[in-house]
Structure 1
Amino acid sequence: MSMNGAAVDCADVPCWTCRRQRLKCDRALPHCGKCTSSQRPCLGYSKDKPLRWTDSVASRGKLTGKKLPRREQHLSLSRVLNDPGLQDLSPSMRDYIAYFEQQCCQEWVLYDFEGANLFKESIRFIPSCPALCHAVVSVAALHLTLRIASAQCNEGTMAYKPNQHEAQVSQSVDQVRQTYQIPAYHDALYHKQRTLRFLRSEAYAGESCNPDGVVASVIMSIWFELMDSGRDTWRYHLRGLREVMPKRTLSLAPSREGAPAADLPQMAESFDTSYAVLEIIGSTFVKTKQPWQPLFSRSPNFDILKRCESQTWTGCPSPLLYVISLANAAASGSHEAPPDLFAHIFSHLHNFSPMHWAVADAETHHMKPRYQLACVWHAAVEMYALQVLPVPFESDVFKSAGRANNSLDSALHHLKSVDPADVHLKGLLWPSFVIGAEAQTMSQRAVITDVLEILWTLWRCHNVTNALKVLEKIWARRATEGSSGRWIKYVYEWGEDWMFI
């Protein structure tokens, strides 16, 4: 009788996890005892061999250990969804993961090259990281929600508003109302809460079984907050990365079960690339600024900033991103600034050539938009540095930095010149906001409004509409108090931590 009971409670074959590690499996159902006691994901007892994420061409024969070029290592999404670890997902979750891969991933990078997209790379961790699975679904559901709401607003407003400009301005308000009625929005909120629950348990736990998946989940949660508003809540996730994750064993470890060692440093570098942009740009409109240092890799700082040019969506030239980090560090008050720091910062600005940057390592059809992008960022970074650094208005540094109206008009000209269909447009939200805060005349402000409306049409994110709302508050304040003061102080006074990227 006991033998019959054992036969009922045991699988016919060992689990795939024990087979891979050549361990004796107790074949317990639904998960073997060895996996349960060691807190490892059990790959189950299915007849089909589960996927093993490796960059080798074959596991046996003459091609054993041979590797394909990096661009060929991507696995199609259908293979990800066929992983045994995802078989219990609902059809809607699987649909959202497919939507994420097909519609969302390319928005994270300026140029969607194979092997240079953190979120496409992170999909491989979904089967072993519940937090990442829910984070992916929440981002995809919110992304889909905003586009459904946008389409509904387009149908409603265009029917009765002959003025295209008036219709565009009104759509953002209508979209907010539509959002709450869309089922995908409720899915987004539900899976956001599930993500936070898993991340909270990770924060209190010891060593994580999948730290790469956890970091990707946090970065993806920041993406969710940027789409949703760009206000305040993203800071909690960023602080979690700073305080919790450096204490864990991340991808700096030489090897880990189920992941080839050669792949791990690249993930750490990708995490630091995304973190650099989020930390540096995230500190710009926050009164308490955080000096930036890499968290996950040992790469030189400037190498990380260089990767930010192509592996994130901002496209900010690395010398200018470096200047922003220097200005943030100087304004943070965390350490006494060297006496020549201001001159050092502005010498970097003076020595930066948008044309040289645009033609370096660029395809021919990208040279003109890259030049326009570089000119816009160059002007905006200079304006920002003059706002946050304690440089007197009458100082030589301030006067030599180019505060004349023609500098502002030049930046606006380049903003207007960017083709709305060009991929580089996605990197212009932050510089558009900074240049917009400096705008004095109605015509100058109209240019900024037009650019933000194009960006909103491209993304349909509340982050963009909030940028325009804050600019309108700045313009109203400067109309009553004059333009001689620093607009950055208004942003600090209002007490909301915005990240406009």
Structure 2
Amino acid sequence: MAPGRKKKGKKVPSGPVADKPCHNCRRRRLRCDRLLPHCAKCEGKGADCLGYSQIFQWTGAVASRGRLAGQQSSAALYTPARSTTGHSRASLSSVSSISSNSPVSSSSASSVASPSVPSSSPAFIAPSLSQVDEVTETSEAESESGSELDIFNDQYVDQQDNGDDNDATPLASGDTQLVCTTNNSYPLTSETSTPWVLVDPLYQDITSNHRQYLAYFDARLSRDFVAYDMPDNPFRNLLKFTQAHPLLRQVIIAASATHMYNRSRPWLSSDSLDRGLGPRNLLMDALEAKHQVLRMLPSALQSIESTGGDIVLAAILFLINVELIESGKHNWKAHFDGADKIMKLLGPVSDVDESLRDYIVSDCFIYYILDSTFRPTASDSHSYFESCEALQVLGKTTNSYYCCPPELLEIMLIAARLSNTKPDEVVSADMVTAAGAALLDRARNFDVLPWAQEINLSNIPSTEQDPVLSRFRAATSHRLAICLYILHAIPSVRTWVGEDLADAIFAELHHVLCMIPDDDINLKATTWVTFVFGACARTPEMKDWVTVQIKKLMIESPWGFLYAARDALQMLWSVQAEGMPMTSWVQTLRDLHMDFLIV
């Protein structure tokens, strides 16, 4: 061997080494030096070493470049949920659930998306969220067992009526509520699992507790604001603004937590309209979020130009909804007056899309009309709603939750204004009667079928049976209820046409309401209709039927204003039972100054 020439030998790495090659070398089938913390071969080539531990990757992510550009990854969006026997929608519309992911093994990672929307939507929130689902025929005893459980450790799962709980109080068929069960029923596997999984970057700075409420809004609550939960539900698009606007995030959290709390409250008995207490942590989260909204609202109003008028208006609309979910009494009025003032300041559509603004303004207008029907005094002539055309606003939202033709809502508004008109030297009593009779003819002769057919059937979920018939029944019930309202809000019209016509319309409305199935998606739109029917009811049998109908509505939509409607009906019925003189139940209701809103 020539002098000065060294023998080439195998390089021995110095320092700690990994027990397996790095991910880069394994993919390229190269010999890895296994140095920690990074492979020297990767560093020498200027490549970013992926290391030796488990790789976490986005599920359902869309490639931005390469031959797979525009395609989603093949990783599963969510792991299969625990097998359960599905329950029918005999009494309720089915609810989307947010499936929790199974424990992640050391060789793979998966994440969960809400099944109600694709992963590419802005509502693709966190995995590891609690599963949310409806519960059929759940007992009071079962509900109370989990009422105080911490929401972080709870799962909302299907409970099937298996007949084992003989001591539990049975509920009405199709009764639903959220039930909290501990995780002890779902033992973890022996495999090592990670406590967290990746979330959408839009929500990564939001606590898991808040992500849970945002996910609930995405999967369940957003459906209450439209007739059919189509993929382009405009209210779901609000979620993408929650990161940049804490005010909007907190008010959505408050609405979701309050709605979850109402759904989790057990019925006191099968024939009762009252519920017990729900999980305390849900109520505390709702109150805390509501407090944060009220604290942030003044500064948002002062900087409305930078925040955006549409965002502030959406926040106030949901603040009204929070009050309606809680009770529907008193507090909503101040927020509604604020929404009226903000709508005067709205400029061109900026951040939010135009359809979202249309639905927000339309909901405010519907609330205004429904409030006008029982408002003790005439509305302010300087109101935004008095200065704009109802048909122009309401005609843009064919999928509105209220499922009522704009022409009928306009008739309702005119009738409410007419009922508050006091005869004087300019407007005589005969003029009011003639105008009311003309409104009654318009309502009776309005054809709802063309409106019922004005919907894109291709976007409606296939699970909905005959949407045109459903819309026709809901619109017909509104038409008949408005006729009854005109007859009782303007008593001189009822005297003019006679009691026989009022009785015939009442009987026809009862027939139409009986034809609407319990699982009809538009059942929730008949609350005001049912209230008007109940106020006109005279016999105990009809009043009992109305009570059952109100409970069906409570099951379908656990909003607190339904309890205010029930209380108002009971007060009207008690006035009737006492034999007190009552020219019009509408005027009697106004004299009570209950200040409630039925939406």
**TM-score normalised over the length of structure 2:** 0.61
1:323 aligns with 2:411: yes
One-letter code of the match for 2:467? Answer: H
Distance 1:471 1:426 in 2: 18
8 Å contact from structure 1 (residues 135, 220) kept in 2: yes
One-letter code of the match for 2:369? Answer: I
Could you say which residue in structure 1 is the equivalent of 2:498? 399
Which of 241, 250, 254 in structure 2 is aligned with 1:134?
Answer: 250
| Bigger share in helix | 1
Distance 2:270 2:396 in 1: 35
CA distances 1:70-103 after superposition (whole Å, capped 9, x unpaired): x999724136996666443221011111111111
Distance 2:439 2:119 in 1: 41
8 Å contact from structure 1 (residues 464, 500) kept in 2: yes
CA distances 1:1-39 after superposition (whole Å, capped 9, x unpaired): xxxxxxxxxxxxxxxxxxxxxxxxxxxxxxxxxxxxxxx
Q: Relative to structure 1, is the Cα distance of residues 408 and 301 closer, same or farther in structure 2, using a 3 angstrom cutoff?
A: closer
Distance 2:373 2:281 in 1: 35
Could you say which residue in structure 1 is the equivalent of 2:478? 377
1:347 aligns with 2:393: no
Distance 2:427 2:500 in 1: 20
CA distances 1:332-385 after superposition (whole Å, capped 9, x unpaired): 559977946334422321321244544454758123333322222112111212
Could you say which residue in structure 2 is the equivalent of 1:284? 373
SS in 2 for 1:402: helix
8 Å contact from structure 1 (residues 291, 325) kept in 2: no
Alignment of 1:152-163 (within 5 A): 153=267
Report the RMSD for the aligned CA atoms in angstroms.
Answer: 3.5
SS in 1 for 2:254: helix
One-letter code of the match for 2:408? Answer: L
8 Å contact from structure 1 (residues 142, 185) kept in 2: yes
One-letter code of the match for 1:241? Answer: A
One-letter code of the match for 2:241? Answer: F
- Gapped regions of structure 2 (runs ≥ 5): 1-62, 70-116, 127-197, 458-464
Q: Per-residue deviation at 1:276?
A: 1.4
Could you say which residue in structure 2 is the equivalent of 1:18? none
Q: Relative to structure 1, is the Cα distance of residues 306 and 483 closer, same or farther in structure 2, using a 3 angstrom cutoff?
A: farther
Which of 537, 541, 552 in structure 2 is aligned with 1:454?
Answer: 552
SS in 2 for 1:411: helix
Distance 2:390 2:265 in 1: 41
Number of aligned residue pairs: give it. 403
Alignment of 1:428-467 (within 5 A): 428-467=526-565
Q: Relative to structure 1, is the Cα distance of residues 292 and 409 closer, same or farther in structure 2, using a 3 angstrom cutoff?
A: farther
One-letter code of the match for 1:323? Answer: I
CA distances 1:95-117 after superposition (whole Å, capped 9, x unpaired): 111111111101111112233x3
8 Å contact from structure 2 (residues 313, 342) kept in 1: no
Q: Relative to structure 1, is the Cα distance of residues 332 and 131 closer, same or farther in structure 2, using a 3 angstrom cutoff?
A: farther
Q: Relative to structure 1, is the Cα distance of residues 90 and 472 closer, same or farther in structure 2, using a 3 angstrom cutoff?
A: same
Percentage of pairs with the same residue: 22
1:101 aligns with 2:195: no
Distance 1:337 1:143 in 2: 46
- Gapped regions of structure 1 (runs ≥ 5): 1-56, 64-70, 158-166
Q: Per-residue deviation at 1:219?
A: 0.8
The range that moved more, 454-463 or 355-364, is 355-364
Alignment of 1:37-436 (within 5 A): 75-78=121-124, 86-115=203-232, 117-150=233-266, 153=267, 167-170=269-272, 172-175=273-276, 178-179=277-278, 182-205=280-303, 207-247=305-345, 250=346, 252=348, 256=350, 259=351, 264-290=353-379, 301-311=390-400, 313-333=401-421, 339=431, 341-361=435-455, 365-389=466-490, 391=492, 393-395=494-496, 398-399=497-498, 402-403=501-502, 405-436=503-534
Q: Per-residue deviation at 1:233?
A: 1.3
Q: Relative to structure 1, is the Cα distance of residues 232 and 208 closer, same or farther in structure 2, using a 3 angstrom cutoff?
A: farther
Q: Whose radius of gyration is greater, 1 or 2?
A: 2
**TM-score normalised over the length of structure 1:** 0.72
